């Protein structure tokens, strides 16, 4: 079902989620071995109309990256999102 859809698709195109033991995101001779999957919803935008939740309509919510995620980005020499 949808539980593994993103992870399975990314792995099928050769880009598994870092730290994903099931779909091959480990042991790639990288300078970091995360203890969990490095998959994070950094930003979510709700559509214009949500009649059942009007307080969320037209909102964008951001969640800062967890510290372990930031450590992985730095170890891989990748830029942190702004």
pLDDT value for 27: 65
Q: Which of 2, 37, 32 is nearest to 16 (CA)?
A: 37
Q: State the average pLDDT for the chain.
A: 83
What is the average pLDDT across 18-44? 83
DSSP characters for the chain? -GGGHHHHHHHHTT-PPTT-TTTT-S-SS-S---SS------EEE--S--TT-GGGTT-EEE-PPPHHHHHHHHHTTPPPP-
Look at the block and give the residue holding tokens 């300078």.
31
Is pTM beyond 0.85 here?
Answer: no
Beta-carbon count within 10 A of 23 CB: 17
Task: Give tens-digit pLDDT for 54-80.
Answer: 776 677 889 999 999 999 999 889 898
């Amino acid at each position: 079902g949808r539980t593994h859809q993103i992870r399975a698709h990314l792995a099928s195109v050769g880009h598994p989620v870092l730290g994903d033991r099931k779909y091959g995101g480990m042991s790639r001779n990288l300078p970091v071995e995360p203890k969990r999957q490095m998959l994070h919803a950094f930003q979510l935008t709700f559509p214009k109309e949500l009649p059942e939740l009007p307080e969320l309509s037209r909102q964008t919510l951001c969640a800062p990256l967890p510290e372990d995620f930031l450590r992985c980005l730095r170890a891989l020499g990748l830029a942190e999102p702004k």
